[in-house]
Amino acid sequence: MELAEFREPDQPGFTRRTFSEPYQRSRAWVKELMEAAGLQVRTDPTGNLIGELQGEAPELSQIAVGSHTDTVAGGGRFDGMVGVIGAIEVARLIRQGGQRLRHPLLVADFLGEEPNRFGLSCLGSRAVAGQLSQGHLLRPDESGETLISALLERGSRPADLSEGLWQPERLHCYLELHIEQGSRLQRAGIALGVVTAIAGIHRAVITVSGRPDHAGTTAMNERRDALAGAAEVVLLVERLAREQGEGGSGVGTVGRLEVSPGASNVVPGEARAWAEFRSIEPAWVQDRHLALEAVVAELAARRDLGVSIDWVSAEPPVACSEGVRQAIQEALEGLGQPSLELPSGASHDAAHVAHLCPMGMIFIPSRDGRSHCPEEWTEPEEVALGVAALLATVLRLDRRDTV
């Protein structure tokens, strides 16, 4: 609740975006919380907050636990935050209980998990996994500023990214506690979820170019109306997303649309639509990617518009590791808690860290499945149970030599 009060005053909900001043201030608050829990804290070249707790055997690989504390515009108070605060609480409970893990513990508050104005998500976890490319760093926003300049401005050291790489041989496993952001747990009346896989996402920025004209004097059959074209694209994305087999989990959205010049008496000259397709079925997402390219080409020809698709990211679905899932299941049984196995339609930092080591996730319920909105809510008791499950899983993973 305290962290959620670091919010952008001119934005709805509990907004704390990566390149905002409240986010910058909130990092100092998280750092202090990490230090109070007994963690040795450092900020890595990308800007990830890394808190470390020594184990009995420093030569053993690290148990990494983390998530993010940035939000979407108009976001809530739990997405990402429960995973970072929960990981810090696990460290505090271990120290408070006078316990010593065998493995060193690493707690991560990853920078910028949510898509930013450069279109890219998971900045910090991509960076530690060696997936933040030069191309990503040079991505411009609308004003032409590049991601790398925004990172430099906030004090990150993008020239030293390689210093921040996590080494697979130094990692025992990665664990993330997160809200479900859906309603499966609530509908099942179960408080803890064991994630099986994380959906893949293909994200694109679609630019439709027409011709700005006087809205009063330009005949309808002479117009090259970019917004009318973009409106067709929005409905095409929805139609393509609805086309799926029985029980398909695929989704598609255009969440952002910009029009220029944006005057009510000017035929729009240009429009940009941010689109994404997601599924745990890799073939379905790939199909949508190709289908969108085809239908947009037809639309451009028919409406005499220019249309370009810039695929910002194309992440495959990622399976959670059998070993970590099993440790979570055993931990929940040890707590006498029922659990539900379910895929994640949302993406997470865990999807990137999974390229480095065995990964698992624990879900706690989102009331009515609402998330990415101020109504996002999870009961304090549910958060506490999630933290207890996280601690119990860390202790189990710690007793294993391999995961």
Residue 35's Cβ-side half-sphere holds a number of Cα atoms within 13 Å equal to: 9
Site string for ligand HGY, 236-275 (x = CB under 6 A): ----------------------------------------
Closest CB to Mn ion: residue number: 80
> Of 44 and 349, which has the nearer Cβ to Mn ion?
349
> Of 372 and 396, which has the nearer Cβ to Mn ion?
372
Residues touching ligand HGY, count (CB under 6 A): 6
CA nearest 146: which of 136, 154, 138?
Answer: 138
Pairing between strand 40-43 and 49-53?
A: antiparallel
Alpha-carbon gap, residue 143 to 146, rounded angstroms: 9
Could you tell me the two tokens for 165?
């790489």
Q: Tell me the β-bridge partners of 141.
A: none
Please list every residue from 42 through 101 that binds ligand HGY, using CB under 6 A. 79
Q: How far is the CB of 198 from ligand HGY (least distance, A)?
A: 9
130 — alpha (psi -120 to 50), left (phi > 0) or beta? left
Q: Tell me the β-bridge partners of 315.
A: 201
Main-chain phi, psi angles of 393, to 5 degrees: -70, -40
180 binding partner (options Mn ion, ligand HGY, none; Cβ < 5 to 8 Å by kind): none
| 382: contact with ligand HGY by CB under 6 A | no
Q: How far is the CB of 347 from ligand HGY (least distance, A)?
A: 4
| 197: contact with ligand HGY by CB under 6 A | no
> Of 61 and 121, which has the nearer Cβ to ligand HGY?
121
Main-chain phi, psi angles of 118, to 5 degrees: -95, 0
Please list every residue from 55 through 94 that binds Mn ion, using CB under 5 A. 79-80
Amino acid, single-letter form, for residue 134: Q
Q: How far is the CB of 30 from Mn ion (least distance, A)?
A: 15
> Of 108 and 227, which has the nearer Cβ to Mn ion?
108
Q: How far is the CB of 347 from Mn ion (least distance, A)?
A: 8
CA nearest 243: which of 198, 279, 196?
Answer: 279
> Of 122 and 285, which has the nearer Cβ to Mn ion?
122
Q: How far is the CB of 193 from ligand HGY (least distance, A)?
A: 15
> Of 196 and 329, which has the nearer Cβ to ligand HGY?
196
Could you tell me the two tokens for 157?
């050291």
Could you tell me the two tokens for 289?
């990617």
Please list every residue from 279 through 338 that binds ligand HGY, using CB under 6 A. none
3-state secondary structure string across 194-249: EEEEECEEEEEEEEEECCCEECCCCCHHHCCCHHHHHHHHHHHHHHHHHCCCCCCC
Q: How far is the CB of 96 from ligand HGY (least distance, A)?
A: 31
DSSP state of 367: G
> Of 80 and 343, which has the nearer Cβ to Mn ion?
80
User: Which position among 346, 383, 388, 392 is part of the footprint of ligand HGY (CB under 6 A)?
Assistant: 346
Alpha-carbon gap, residue 260 to 70, rounded angstroms: 29
Closest CB to ligand HGY: residue number: 346
**Neighbour-count burial of 135, counting CB atoms closer than 10 A to its CB (0-12 exposed, 13-18 middle, 19+ buried):** exposed
398 binding partner (options Mn ion, ligand HGY, none; Cβ < 5 to 8 Å by kind): none
| 175: contact with ligand HGY by CB under 6 A | no
User: Which position among 26, 67, 339, 347 is part of the footprint of ligand HGY (CB under 6 A)?
Assistant: 347
Residue keyed to tokens 């895929």: 343
Main-chain phi, psi angles of 314, to 5 degrees: -145, 80
63 binding partner (options ligand HGY, Mn ion, none; Cβ < 5 to 8 Å by kind): none
> Of 8 and 113, which has the nearer Cβ to ligand HGY?
113
Q: Tell me the β-bridge partners of 340.
A: 193
Give the ranges where 272-348 is alpha helix by DSSP (H): 282-303, 322-334
121 binding partner (options ligand HGY, Mn ion, none; Cβ < 5 to 8 Å by kind): ligand HGY
Please list every residue from 110 through 139 that binds ligand HGY, using CB under 6 A. 113-114, 121
Q: Which residues contact ligand HGY (rule: CB under 6 A)?
A: 79, 113-114, 121, 346-347
Q: Which residues contact Mn ion (rule: CB under 5 A)?
A: 79-80
